[in-house]
Chain A
Amino acid sequence: MILKRKLLESYKLLIIIPLIITLSSLGILLTHGLEESVDLKGGSIAELTLEKKMDQTELKAFIQEKLKIKDVNVISIKGYDATVQMGSDIQVDEFARALKGTAKIKSYRSVGPILGKEAMNQIYWAVGFAFLFMSITVLIVFRNLVPSLAVIMAAACDIIIALGGMSLFKVPLSLASIGAILMLIGYSVDTDILLTTRVLKQRKGKITERAIGAIKTGLTMSAAAIASMSALYIVTVFLIPEAEVLSNIAAVLIIGLSADILTTWFMNLGILRWYLEARS
């Protein structure tokens, strides 16, 4: 308790922590960039069931030779299950014929470059507008510039940290991970709204006391969300590695929601207290 109070008293310093993490995330993002999945950069990805044991180099050489393409990447082989990615959008009939007798296709996805470019374009718009609409809603709800901006800034940091985490842990940018980012925009502001409402609207008690109450509620919320996403992540990674859609969403949200704990309780709370102190 004493430590908690001490931490709460040095709030101006604490604002720096999420900012440093955000900036380093931005740094990682800019230097390492994001991997793009097949649905954005175009190409083909296939889940195969091998009919005989093969290792990665064997399978790669086999496909390269059969299809006469260079850009083949055998992502994983686990027992008889293999995941293969190819640079160009190979027609599935061609691919099935080439693999006849060696492997069966469990799932196949090929995306032409046109489609990938279109999706990328839509992503910028969707994420941009989602953030804008969220910001407008927050401004309408609080009708108070500084607290609203603090919420919006926390959400922005969450997104940047999530993107930095994707870059670090090699979670590819895909339609699924974008879905997760959009979810994060809506999800992460929950705790910020809780905090702002409690601190600004409640009249009773000191700011610190109100904040401690909000922290307790908020941490329970974040813990529940992170726990459920971890369950989703573990199940998809170990049981159904083919369901990348779900494991990508879970990974992005785990990173983003963890970041949200810092941005809400260090940064947003810090800014709010600073603001209230300056006002009184």
Chain B
Amino acid sequence: MRKGISRFIREPRTIILIILVLISLAAIATLGIPQGLDLKGGSIIQIQLEKPVDSATMNTITSVLDKRLNIFGVKDVKVRASGSQNVIIEIAGVKPEEVAKIVGSPGKFEAKIDNKTVLTGADIVSVQSPIIKGNQWEVPFRISTDGAKRFAKAAEGKAGAPVDMYLDDRLITSPEISPDVAAGKPVTDVAITGAESTRESAELKAKEVETLLKSGSLPVKVKIIGVSNVSAELGGEFTKGALIAGLLAIIAIIIILVARYRTPILVLPIFFTTLAELILILGVAAIIRWNIDLAAIAGILAAIGTGVDDQIIMTDEVLGGERVKRRRRRFRIREAFFIIFASAGTLIAAMLPLAYVGFARGATGIGMLAGFAFTTVLGVLIGVFITRPVYAKFMEYIIK
């Protein structure tokens, strides 16, 4: 037995496993496990563009949206394209109701005199910070000299007539043309003004107008097609629940194993192998910054479940029937590995379409389950190539 243990410890595979587990633990401790939005709380907003666009247009769209959210003061925001027609925005911490409006607007600015457009967003040179007085708000901005000249020409002789300023086809304000401008004098400093019922909402409105003017307009119409929001509090409950569930699941498995094998020398190694697998999966997630969300947790459970299955197969294969010599035992382990590789192959094959959808088509629809497919495949690969062979060596050297 003692000889067996020392041979087992000196096996290169065992040493590699121990090193990898230590690296994973270090990675988890220093880098932390990245949590998905459903665990740490946050929002995912899914946007669909009016039509599929090329990658250059997509870049413009994502950068306009990113800029807008930044101006609006939303921190920790990720804007990414999903395929050629969808954009996914992930926001940690902020409620989506504050963001949905900003993101969903094309941000098209127009100033009209007598229903004819004289200024557009392209004429805007710079936008100043909003001025709030009571519940009145004002967003001053500067237009180009060209635009000012055009405006002056259109306004000539129309003192007192309204200039209708539209943002996304909504009439925001209609200031009157001043006598100066009506006399043909170009003015580059203009403003959009308005009033709300409270100071708070005036500030919000002004911020919204400022943001839309500043960030330019989106090249295509966008529509919010899905919102998913989990509060930080609920995310915390999810994390806690998942931990309890995982722990109970492992206890349930141990009870079954104890009932079947009745000896710690068979049950403990399975437990430790399972633990090692869990640590390795989380270690990889920590290193490559793969977000662990609820779907990924389900994937980890699936991988660990098959891991336990594999070890039961190996244990029974080696222990089955009469006591055998080491050479015969090796042959049996090979047979067990045939079953293990075959079942790993089928599980990975079944997960491939899901992984494909997730990576190639983006994280909309079923692509949201990509995390599930990824962790399952990762866990199965780690099991087949790293932990299972060590368990096999354990069976070979130590179990008599």
Write the chain A residue with the least CB distance to B352: A133
In the complex, A112 Cα to B376 Cα: how many Å?
Answer: 29
Q: Is the CB of B48 within 8 A of A93?
A: no
Q: Given A115-B46, A193-B342: A224 and B248 within 8 A (CB)? A: no
Q: How far is the CB of B377 from chain A (nearest CB, A)?
A: 10
Known A115-B48, A183-B376, A224-B305: A240·B100 in contact at CB below 8 Å? no
* A228 and B253 contact, CB distance less than 8 A: yes
Which of B226, B248, B338 is the one whose CB lies under 8 Å from A197? B338
Contact call A92/B229, Cβ cutoff below 8 A = yes
- A36 interfacial contact with B, CB 8 Å: no
Q: Which of A125, A141, A216, A230 contacts B353 (CB 8 A)?
A: A125
A228 nearest in chain B by CB position: B249
- Contact among B224, B248, B252, B350 for A134, CB-based, below 8 A: B350
Asked whether any CB of chain A lies closer than 8 Å to the CB of B316, the reply is yes
CA distance A127 to B354 in the complex (A): 8
Give Cα A236 to B245, complex, Å: 7
CB distance from A163 to the nearest CB of B (A): 16
Cα A246 to Cα B239 in complex, Å, equals 12
- Residues of A near B252 (CB, < 8 A) are 224, 227-228, 230-231
Q: Residues of B within 8 Å of A, CB-based: how many?
A: 79
Interface band, chain A:
35 or more
A186 touches B (CB below 8 Å) = yes
Closest chain-B Cβ to A232's Cβ sits at a distance in Å of 5
Chain A residue with minimal CB distance to B244? Answer: A235
CB distance from A168 to the nearest CB of B (A): 22
Which residues on B sit within 8 Å (CB–CB) of A121?
365
Find the B residue at minimum CB distance from A191: B309
**How far is the CB of B396 from the nearest CB of chain A, in Å?**
18
Inter-subunit contact B251/A231 (CB<8 Å)? yes
Asked whether any CB of chain A lies closer than 8 Å to the CB of B257, the reply is yes
A residues 102-124 near B (Cβ < 8 Å) are: 105-112, 114-115, 118-119, 121-123
- The complex places the Cα of A180 from the Cα of B357 at a distance, in Å, of 16
A221/B309 contact (C-beta < 8 A), A197-B339, A201-B335, A228-B253 known: yes
The residues of A with any CB-CB pair to B shorter than 8 Å are 47, 89, 91-93, 95-97, 105-112, 114-115, 118-119, 121-123, 125-131, 133-134, 136-138, 140-141, 175-176, 178-180, 182-183, 185-187, 189-190, 193-194, 197, 201-202, 213, 216-217, 220-221, 223-225, 227-232, 234-236, 239-240, 242-243, 245-246, 249
Q: Which 7 A-B pairs have the closest CB atoms?
A: A186-B347, A93-B97, A119-B365, A112-B225, A240-B241, A133-B349, A228-B249
Can you list 24 A-B pairs, Cβ within 8 angstroms, ordered by A?
A89-B226, A91-B97, A92-B227, A105-B231, A106-B230, A107-B231, A110-B227, A112-B226, A114-B225, A130-B352, A130-B354, A141-B346, A186-B347, A187-B305, A187-B306, A197-B342, A223-B260, A229-B305, A236-B241, A239-B244, A240-B238, A243-B237, A243-B242, A246-B297
B residues near A (Cβ < 8 Å) are 38, 46, 48, 95-98, 100-101, 223-231, 233-234, 237-238, 240-242, 244-245, 248-253, 255-257, 260, 294-295, 297-298, 301-302, 305-306, 308-309, 312-313, 316-317, 320-321, 335, 338-339, 342-343, 345-354, 357, 361, 364-369, 372-373, 376
